[in-house]
Structure 1
């Protein structure tokens, strides 16, 4: 029975969110976007790869010759 009041409140809130435009702080936006660009990763970041030991183990896995099997369609 109280669904109408709840729906009206949701509609009111949705309308406020849709048409509300807060003041934008353009200087803060410029500082955020104009900051340092993408920073290059250090070599130390690559040392934390948990699969690095597997890369050497399976490095030539895809270099095996094709067995000649093909699916018939």
Structure 2
């Protein structure tokens, strides 16, 4: 009991995905899947996650 709303929402989402036309950039998707990056985009990821939190750890020890 109580599954009616959840099933209705799933049905609605499924219909939207099936019938709505989405403009997809398949070239960008292929580049992302192959690990290629655009020359304009900058990747600001942190190499070592511990570096990001090292300031907090030093303050906690004091």
Fold shared, TM-score > 0.5 on shorter chain: no
Q: Report the TM-score range of the alignment, normalised by the length of the smaller protein.
A: 0.3 to 0.5
Q: Which has the higher contact order (CA 8 A, sep 6+)?
A: 2
**TM-score using structure 1 length:** 0.31
Structure showing the higher helix proportion among its residues: 2
Larger radius of gyration: 1
**TM-score using structure 2 length:** 0.36
